[in-house]
Chain A
């Protein structure tokens, strides 16, 4: 990786704020479930529901953030939700990155018919309304596990990265050392992986980081609409969904998951912007 890019990143104030936020959220995802004081699905109807309505923050000892509408500990659900939401976002991003980079590399390097076909396919996927298609697929395949949702989000979002990778590959293909490698008679695969791919790593990192933010939002949207993980799993999106009707009555119910979603998205976006500037990965 280009050391100048790293130096540029280090001096990028926004990127550093973003990196701090991302580290914090990743730590939540990694250690949150161990810190959670209660099981996320356990309902404390007697203690946490008063006349059928959940208690607020600091009203009951041992439950600092209060209860969700079903009398479950809000803090524990947020902490477990961190791991769920982040796992889905990271796994989906990984899937999208692998597909996007592969398609972009092959398309850009092969050119001609393969390129045309791949890019028209990218156009096709880009023309589909994302959420609608995700909902249709989720409904018809009837999957509601972490892996299913991640794959679903991943296979629908690799197209932007494929385009950038293709553009960078086209550039790299005509670089002198690539031509030299070709003149030396190296195999296509070796040239692709050893000489072209390293040019892609920086931009892919930038785009991938931005993508995590989008995945967090997409998962929240799906869960909010009721097409995400099967209950009683707690993701931040499903927590928002389950407290909708009590939003006015107890705003903290929606405030906490919303804050975490915003912080995560903000952090990944800032970091991603910094990376993009550093690696000059513009579409």
Chain B
């Protein structure tokens, strides 16, 4: 009896288990089926009104956290995005990357053979706290930024101002080269002729700040970083740290009736894949910096394609080699490395989001030469030959340690050239390191032999690449900007001459000569220039990918009222691609 009873119990429990399992699966399947699919075409379109007008809320996401809203301290792309909404400079760049006046009435004429510049200011500019912008305020801002206590990372750009160093060291009360001529006129006198100075004036470090606000937060750096007061088209509203920043349209902006959204919301710490999903769901208005695989979707969707921007950015990426660490102190080893890497394979792998290069100056800038004779190119035979000359006919005996970034993308990309290098006899050992450690360690002499390196320009001028990355003046024992510790007296001389050259043709040819030297000596294996990948919603108007600022949202306006899109809004030929579920009628916000 007992035996039989227990068998029944066993059977019941077995069936019970199976039943629970089936129920769970059914429940899971039900929930999965309720997850709305992302539509294959944009969820919303605009009203179709071509007249620019103000209003609405513009939202976008960024991948990490904004560090500061203090323009004197901000020195990363995310902080720049936020700072540029709240502040204006004396000068700015137009959509072509040319300098244009902003708070200044016109571009200043160089005086004294390019050693002095006089700016006449607009007289109708007020800060968000009501302070009237005049020459004294501009002078105050510069003194604040150049002071030692501020510790601005932009100080180096303004060292050329007469007396800036004495003031920075505390030896002078004022910067001798900043002269207030009358209420709305200010003059900058330089130590030497320098034509890149106007570019420095257009950097966010030089944006005028409200003296009242600076005094309010005197001694409270964190407070100042969170409470910006500028003259810009948007007034800072709120910052929920690590989550989002909110800005309101400046109704009193000096340029009247700007067609800007009423509210701008910048979401922080949203990773690329999440951002892509939110964008496809219509929750955010612009998508930038999504992983490459999402490009496939937007490129292959006829409805999205018109709103996709692929813009080559003025950037440089490559493998930096420390020229003081053997065997990389041997130019032939460096050339072998530069010749061993198949740049086209990298570009293919990145689905065209990078363009191969073999020289330091990016294609958009003066001095770039598509026919540069010393340009590095993929040539494994040449790489083996250079190794032979260097005394390694059988390849390098020891692997070289190469530092790469964290994450799947860096790891995959690195294995691409790891295999190329192994092919010609250069073994390497990849080490993934955090960005912060990378920044500190690669700037120290004789520390990291080889590492992936990238540079985004501060302003569109070849000096911002060659002077910073390859001049021996940028070498410092612990905080080196020239992280390959490459020295060449001939190059230094060319760069010095180019900096003061007024004739643009001569200047360009000097930079081309410098470009040729750097490509030949291979302190880096120059690999590629990046392409920015941006998609906007159909109702977002006035977006132009900016050559200097990249993600520039000062000029966007929204074609309101937006409404749910339907298939008919798009010329979609393949009906299979279109799913209509998940499209609702209302505004999701």
Contacts and interface: CB of A to CB of B under 8 A. Distances in A.
Interface of A: 41-43, 45, 49, 51-53, 69-70, 142, 144, 226, 230-232, 241-242, 244-246, 248-249
Given A52-B351, A230-B429, A45 B345 contact: yes
B416 interface: yes
Given A69-B412, A244-B408, A232 B348 contact: no
Interface in B403-444: 406-409, 411-412, 414-416, 418-419, 429-432
B292 interface: yes
Specify which of A41, A42, A231, A242 lies most central, judged by the most chain B CB atoms within 10 Å of its CB. A231
5 contacts: A52-B351, A226-B407, A230-B431, A241-B411, A249-B293
A225 B509 CA distance: 48
A41 B411 CA distance: 14
Contact of B291 (A45, A142, A245): A245
Contacts of B349: 49, 52, 70
A248 B412 contact: no
Given A226-B407, A244-B408, A245-B409, A70 B293 contact: no
Contacts of B412: 69-70, 242
B293 A242 contact: no
A70 B415 contact: yes
- Across the A-B interface, give the 3 residue pairs with the lowest CB-CB distance, nearest first: A52-B348, A52-B351, A231-B415
A226 B432 contact: yes
Interface centre among A42, A70, A142 (most CB of B within 10 A): A70
Contacts of B251: none
A142 B349 CA distance: 29
B4 interface: no
Nearest to B437: A139
Residue of B273, B350, B406, B408 with most chain A CB atoms under a 10 A cut-off: B408
A30 B256 CA distance: 76
B296 interface: yes
A166 B406 CA distance: 42
A28 B339 CA distance: 40
A242 B411 contact: yes
Contact of A231 (B273, B350, B352, B411): B411
From A42, A45, A241, residue with most partner B Cβ within 10 Å: A45
Contacts of A41: 419
Given A49-B348, A52-B352, A142-B431, 4 more contacts: A53-B351, A231-B418, A241-B411, A244-B408
Contacts of B431: 142, 144, 230
A43 B419 contact: yes
A232 B408 contact: no
Interface string B455-495: 00000000000000000000000000000000000000000
Contact of B348 (A42, A51, A226, A246): A51
A245 B293 contact: yes
Contacts of B406: 226
Nearest to B408: A244
B293 A51 contact: no
A52 B273 CA distance: 19
Interface of B: 273, 291-293, 296, 342, 345, 348-352, 406-409, 411-412, 414-416, 418-419, 429-432
Contacts of B429: 230
Nearest to A50: B348
B409 A70 contact: no
Nearest to B344: A45
A231 B408 contact: no
Given A49-B349, A231-B411, A241-B408, A246 B430 contact: no
Contacts of B419: 41-43, 70, 232
B317 to A, nearest CB: 17
A245 B415 contact: no
B411 A70 contact: no
Contacts of B432: 226
Nearest to B346: A52
Nearest to B352: A52
A242 B430 CA distance: 15
Given A49-B348, A51-B351, A70-B415, A242 B296 contact: no
A60 to B, nearest CB: 17
Nearest to A69: B412
A53 B411 CA distance: 16
B416 A245 contact: no
Given A226-B408, A230-B430, A249 B348 contact: no
A248 B293 contact: yes
A41 B352 CA distance: 24
Contacts of A246: 293
Contacts of B409: 245
A249 B411 CA distance: 19
A232 B422 CA distance: 11
Contacts of B348: 45, 49, 51-52
Contacts of A241: 408, 411
Contact of B430 (A52, A53, A231, A244): A231
B283 to A, nearest CB: 19
Contacts of A69: 412
Contact of B415 (A142, A232, A244): A232
A70 B416 contact: yes
A51 B418 CA distance: 21
Candidate in B291, B406, B415, B430 with the most chain A CB atoms within 10 angstroms: B415
A43 B411 contact: no
Given A52-B349, A70-B412, A245-B293, A232 B407 contact: no
Nearest to A142: B431
A43, A144, A241, A242: most-surrounded residue (chain B CB, <10 A): A43
A244 B293 CA distance: 11
Nearest to B292: A245
B296 A231 contact: no
Contact of A245 (B342, B352, B408, B430): B408
A46 B431 CA distance: 27
Contacts of B345: 45
